[in-house]
Chains A and B, each alone.
Chain A
Amino acid sequence: MTLVSGWGRFPVVDSEMLRPRSFEAVGAAVADVTGSVARGNGRAYGDAAIGAVRTIAMTGFDRVRSFDPATGRIRLEAGVLLSDLIDTFGPRGFLPFVVPGTRFVSVGGAIAADVHGKNHHGEGGFGRYVDSILLRAGQGETIEVSREQNSDAFFATVGGMGLTGIILEATMRLRAVETGWIRERVISASDLDAAMRALEASYAATYSVAWIDCVARGSDLGRSLIYLGEHARADEIAEGADRFPISKKPGLAVPIDLPSMTLNRFSIRAFNELYYRMGARRAGGDHVVSLYPYFFPLDSIADWNRIYGRRGFLQHQCVIPEPGARGVLGDILDRVSKRGDASFLAVLKKLGHGDGLLSFPLPGYTLALDFPVKGDILNFLDEIDRLVVAAGGRLYLAKDARQSRATFEAGYPALSRFNAIRKSLDPAGNIRSKLSQRLFDEV
């Protein structure tokens, strides 16, 4: 028995960890118990990558099978991390089309969560650039699924939280880039309306995201810094700079669980004030920054999740469809700012259509908020969920550790179709995670 948790370190539950060394061994591990799921690099926040009984660690499967520099097409094992792809293929002029806020996720995990990045509004999610997937379905078959072949299984697997089987390999396309630098523009927005207007106005930007000060209240409610980005051309980077910047190992690390009082309304308010003012000073003209701080600001602090102390934290990420998003987002931010305990990772971003049956994105605005696990936070988040559901929104399963079945079912209308496909791939129900027990499986 092993105690396992996600990145949020809540919940901590028991699951047997297995690290198979061959695809045959993966098959055997799935076949002999009811209740396995694959785990990549453990960056899902809640209980998605924890097997009901057994968790299958996939990071050992880290081989690239083939790469064609003419097309950017790559075949790889599911345990390859995006950080590895960036470090290896970036210097050759290729990057993943879609990267989430951390590069320390596996390809298998990125497909299972159909992760989105700062370019979702225009370019879609991770799954859009996946051509086919080698899947070890629960029934004992290993099948290749794509938009053409076993397409039901493909669209259930993209965003399917690992519940259609174990993702073993994938073929995907990488983006050809001239450099590893981003031409960034920062816009400061004094309140929520200004932030949403700025995101709307910059729809043509390849990358856009707003950091939102969720402690600011009153007329400052929703004040934000909006970060726009474009891939820099070779003639736009500093003279003498390497075309591809070196990735630095995390320079800082959080060595211990900080006492849970470290983050309080005063320290968060002070941090946010400073962060906003420093960002606002950079607002205006373009400047060129390395892709690492642009895409992965928190990756530079190893184990930052320990900042929330031993009890862990919850990330609440919802998406609210347009029109009507403004009112609900304002309501949520108002309630959050009155509590004062939501932390520095508060992000607002425009999303487009999702590709998979259970992909999180839908056209609208997504808001992500972090909260330490304490006090009445679970009740508070249930309240927020009611606002989300009433607005036709949903929560991101890759971040979730606590939503109710009712919230989940209301948010994902393709669920019954997903369940039928899952059942046909895995009639005996061998693939089960703690998340599927909580939200999907018949009880």
Chain B
Amino acid sequence: MTSRKTVLVLGGSSDIGRAAARAFAKAGYDVGLAGRDAAALEPDAADLRARYAIEASTWTFDVLDTASFDGFVAGLPVLPDVVVSIVGLLGVQQNAESDVAHATTIMRSNYEGPSLILGLFAEEFLARGNGTIVGVSSVAGDRGRASNYVYGSAKAGFSAFLSGLRARASRGGVHVVTVKPGFVRTRMTEGMKLIGPLTVDAPVVGDAILNAVEKKTDVVYVSGKWRLVMLIIKTLPEAVFKKLKF
């Protein structure tokens, strides 16, 4: 037990999760990494300890196993100061169009699970009177597009959940951050055609998350360019928008 602040990263094995964990550890936080396979997270925990001389722990957490959430939160030895959810699943839009099971997994991984777990943490934080919740959502949730609306609609739901939670929790001293990374070079996007000037590396997102927590930002577009791009996309009349293929 230390006097340092603590952050819990849900989805700690993802590239953005690792980057966020490093950003917080560098800033002096003790870090908990949570993922489906806690043992697989141990090398990353060791990396954080070796680099930043902080404490790092690993936790088993499955975002689809919502029945385990109450026990997961109650089982933590320390309620963290910050919880960050990077959990998500891009899936394959074409398959999701006809495969109900796949579409369900996308929806649950991006909306149901992250919303419910962050909601539980929010209750604990409100009872304590402080804490910061970070949800990594997506610009894809700003408007449903033909090429990825199953994922996008789940992210839209998650963004809406975070927005409402923020309004409610802010009165109780708890801050909620919504992060919309845009294109990030990660395993999730490997092989996809990304637009260079709109694409960032995972460490940029990690730093942006830390920065948003420290500055109590509400909604973060990691690259300011995305705010503009999505503003344009959101304002296109539906009659025009539906003709676009992207």
Partner of B50, one of A19, A21, A67: A67
Partner of A63, one of B26, B43, B53: B43
Contacts of A92 in B (CB 8 A): 53
A65 touches B187 (CB 8 A): no
B44 touches A63 (CB 8 A): yes
A19 touches B51 (CB 8 A): no
Partner of A21, one of B26, B44, B187: B187
Mask for A30-66, Cβ within 8 A of B = 1, else 0?
A: 0000000000000000000000000000000001111
B46 touches A66 (CB 8 A): yes
A88 within 8 A of B: yes
Contacts of B46 in A (CB 8 A): 63-66
Contacts of B37 in A (CB 8 A): none
A74 within 8 A of B: yes
B70 within 8 A of A: no
Contacts of A74 in B (CB 8 A): 50
B123 within 8 A of A: no
Interface residue ranges of A1-48 to B (CB < 8 Å): 19, 21
Residue of A nearest to B190 (CB): A19
B47 within 8 A of A: yes
Residue of B nearest to A22 (CB): B40
A67 to B52, CA, bound (A): 10
Contacts of B47 in A (CB 8 A): 63-65
Contacts of B190 in A (CB 8 A): 19
Contacts of A69 in B (CB 8 A): 53
Q: Number of B residues whose C-beta is below 8 Å from A?
A: 11
A69 to B43, CA, bound (A): 19
Chain B interface mostly:
helix
* Residue in A19, A67, A74 whose Cβ sees the most chain B Cβ within 10 Å: A67
Q: Number of A residues whose C-beta is below 8 Å from B?
A: 12
Interface residue ranges of B104-143 to A (CB < 8 Å): none
Contacts of B44 in A (CB 8 A): 63
Mask for B48-76, Cβ within 8 A of A = 1, else 0?
A: 00111100000000000000000000000
Mask for A160-181, Cβ within 8 A of B = 1, else 0?
A: 0000000000000000000000
Partner of A67, one of B26, B43, B51: B51
Interface residue ranges of B33-49 to A (CB < 8 Å): 43-44, 46-47
Expressed in whole angstroms, the minimum distance between the Cβ of B224 and any Cβ of chain A is 16
A19 to B190, CA, bound (A): 9
Contacts of B26 in A (CB 8 A): 88
Residue of B nearest to A89 (CB): B51
A116 to B44, CA, bound (A): 30
A282 to B71, CA, bound (A): 66
Q: A63-B43, A63-B46, A66-B46 are contacts. A88–B51 as well, Cβ < 8 Å? A: yes
A88 to B203, CA, bound (A): 13
Expressed in whole angstroms, the minimum distance between the Cβ of A248 and any Cβ of chain B is 14
Contacts of A88 in B (CB 8 A): 26, 51-52
A391 to B190, CA, bound (A): 49
Residue of B nearest to A66 (CB): B50
Interface residue ranges of A54-104 to B (CB < 8 Å): 63-67, 69, 74, 88-89, 92
Contacts of A66 in B (CB 8 A): 46, 50
Residue of B nearest to A249 (CB): B204
A19 to B50, CA, bound (A): 25
Contacts of A89 in B (CB 8 A): 51
* Residue in B44, B46, B53, B190 whose Cβ sees the most chain A Cβ within 10 Å: B46
Residue of B nearest to A74 (CB): B50
A89 to B50, CA, bound (A): 10
A64 touches B50 (CB 8 A): yes
Residue of A nearest to B197 (CB): A255
Mask for B180-198, Cβ within 8 A of A = 1, else 0?
A: 0000000100100000000
A63 to B43, CA, bound (A): 7
Residue of B nearest to A62 (CB): B47
Residue of A nearest to B45 (CB): A63
Contacts A21-B187, A63-B46 aside, 16 further interface pairs with beta carbons under 8 A come to: A63-B43, A63-B44, A64-B47, A64-B50, A65-B43, A65-B46, A65-B47, A65-B50, A66-B46, A66-B50, A67-B50, A67-B51, A69-B53, A88-B51, A88-B52, A89-B51
Pull 24 A–B residue pairs with CB atoms less than 8 Å apart, ordered by A. A19-B190, A21-B187, A63-B43, A63-B44, A63-B46, A63-B47, A64-B46, A64-B47, A64-B50, A64-B51, A65-B43, A65-B46, A65-B47, A65-B50, A66-B46, A66-B50, A67-B50, A67-B51, A69-B53, A74-B50, A88-B26, A88-B51, A89-B51, A92-B53
Nearest 3 CB-CB pairings of A with B: A63-B47, A67-B50, A64-B50
